[in-house]
Structure 1
């Protein structure tokens, strides 16, 4: 065993591509991944934050805020997903009404 820790994610394939990042506390940001390190600190360019609904802080709205070049601290990153190639699908576990 080498004493070096490997990350579970292979972010190299996402460099210079659009990613969506969810952070602890409910913030959601999209941008172009420019760099990362073994602690999952991310550098995003042309970052845009999706603002949350004031009535329900768990939901995001269509309102956005341009952030530019940002660093997302690895301890706050919960989810990283590509923006291209993802579609929202119907919940396969939802029981049909009347069943």
Structure 2
């Protein structure tokens, strides 16, 4: 009976996402509401709360909150709340691709 409880507790503590291979590497994070930031991943927990160092926020267009501008803002050391994280991706070898669902202008 004690083994079942121990196994159940171990499963509960495991996170769906294992970010250990990205520790001390640059990542890019998108948040609910359209904000985006990149920085060096220093730590995380099972709730996906993230600690980023050397963080840069990508500023959004005032007219279109989901469109990014070339303007950035340096934030430094940041703790990101996991409930607002929508996407995490490595910053190295990342490139933008065209949206296949939007008709391209000729």
Q: TM-score range by the shorter chain?
A: 0.7 to 0.9
Runs of 5+ consecutive residues of structure 2 not aligned to the other structure: 1-6
- In the alignment, which of 41, 52, 72 is matched to residue 49 of structure 2? 41
Q: Which residue of 1 aligns with 2:95?
A: 87
Moved over 3 A (4+): 90-97
Runs of 5+ consecutive residues of structure 1 not aligned to the other structure: none
Q: Which residue of 2 aligns with 1:31?
A: 39
TM-score of the two chains, using structure 2 as the length reference: 0.82
Cα pair distance change 1:91/1:14, threshold 3 Å: same
- Greater percentage in helix: 2
Counterparts of 2:57 and 2:75 in 1: how far apart (Å)? 7
Q: Say how many residue pairs are matched.
A: 97
